[in-house]
Structure 1
Amino acid sequence: MEIWNAYTADGHLTNHSLTRGEPIPHGLYHLVVECIIRHRDGSTLFMKRASIKPSYPSYYEATAGGSALFGEIAEQAILREVREETGIELTTDQLRHHTHFVAHDDQCIFHCYWAETDWDKSAIQLQANETSNFIWVKQEDLEHFLETELVIPRQKAYVENLFLKHEKP
């Protein structure tokens, strides 16, 4: 059973807890974190979602992430999620917070990061039943990859805004 902290829409922690799979009371939200992983050589990690996933099966996702567990702050949750989903060990010093938003329909508060690492690119560990493959996309191939592959639309926009519309974040 996964337990989450409950927040108000403006991000204030409440005294309530939430349980995954149970309805979230009106006016309460849970914290979700996502992180785009960039290699020091300029390539970006994309993981292919398992074909059994209910949303976006077999799409590439540009982020590792998930729900923050009870007692975790955003930075702790993203370090854990990245480790669970990729095997990459990041530190808080590597995290760059790039956006946050509230998804009212899903009752989620999203904190989105990116991080640069020199992790061994061949040492990615896929999470069973979550992802089926991974690819590191070179900066010079990034625009073509985003145009030709199935990538979760919201995450595609993150990557475009961070790494294609600016020289360097």
Structure 2
Amino acid sequence: MEFWDIYDSEKRVTGRKMLRNDWHMKPGDYHLTVLALIRDAAGRILITQRKADKEWAPLKWEIPGGGVRAGETSEQAVLREVAEETGLRFAPEQGRCIHTYRSDSPAEQNNYFVDIYEFRGDFTKEDVKIQEDEVESFRLATPQEVRALGEADDFLHYKRLAHVLPEEEA
């Protein structure tokens, strides 16, 4: 069983916990999720495609990420999630949190914060080892290609990510 910390509306840990994906959150309670915008030396972005058997958003494209476990920091979680989902390992100093947003969904009882980190690395497609039970496939996409997927409604959380996407590199 995996537990997540419950945060208040100011993103402070409350000391209470919830079972992972137990969407029965009370108003004012939040969980924390992380996403990783991973760029290679050429400026392309590592994107992953969700498994076809996923209950929510099968075969949609996204950037790696996931829930922050109880007792974990946002930074620890993003490094763990990136390693699990892509096989890539980054040192903390190779990344930085570039954006945080809060989503309130009282009807779904799913309130959360998302910390988006950016990492740059000198890696190739051959270095990426996807987590086969979570990820269908991956690709290195230009920011323009990610925007096209987002505009086609084929990229998760695109509207929340669009402003942090880098401009095309020369």
Coarse TM-score class (shorter-chain normalised): 0.7 to 0.9
For 1:44-55, list aligned pairs within 5 A: 44-55=45-56
Q: Secondary structure of the residue that 1:115 maps to in structure 2? A: strand
- Note if 1:118 corresponds to 2:110: no
Alpha carbons 2:95, 2:118 under 8 Å: kept: yes
- 1:3-152 to 2 correspondence within 5 Å? 3-22=3-22, 23-61=24-62, 63-105=63-105, 106-138=110-142, 150-152=154-156
Identity of aligned residues (%): 28
Aligned 8 A contact 1:137 1:145 in 2: no
Distance in 2, matches of 1:140 and 1:14, equals: 40
1:127 is displaced (CA, Å) by 1.3
Which sections of structure 1, spanning at least 5 residues, go unmatched?
Answer: none
TM-score, normalization by structure 2 = 0.84
Cα distance change on mapping 1:149 and 1:24 into 2, 3 Å: closer
Please say if residues 51 and 59 of structure 2, whose CA atoms lie closer than 8 Å, have aligned partners that are also in contact.
yes
Shift of 1:113: 1.2
Structure 2: runs of 5 or more not aligned: none
Aligned structure 1 segments of 4 or more residues deviating by more than 6 angstroms: none
Cα distance 1:130–1:97, how it changes in 2: closer, same or farther (>3 A)? same
Spell out the pairing of 1:145-164 with structure 2 (5 A cutoff): 150-152=154-156, 154-155=157-158, 158-159=161-162, 161-164=164-167
Give 1:119 shift.
Answer: 2.2
Distance 1:149 1:102, change over 3 A: closer
* Structure 2 contact 39–120 (Cα < 8 Å) conserved: yes
Deviations 1:31-90 (A, max 9, x none): 1111111001111111111111122211111x1111111111100000000000000001
The answer to whether the 8 Å contact 2:147/2:162 transfers is no
Deviation at 1:24, TM superposition (A): 2.7
Are the equivalent residues in 2 in contact too, given 1:52–1:129 (CA < 8 A)?
Answer: no
SS at match of 1:163: coil
CA contact (8 A) 2:40 2:124 kept: no
1:25 shift after superposition: 3.5
User: Against the structure 1 CA distance between its residues 156 and 120, is the aligned structure 2 distance closer, same or farther, given a 3 Å change threshold?
Assistant: farther
> How many pairs does the alignment contain?
165
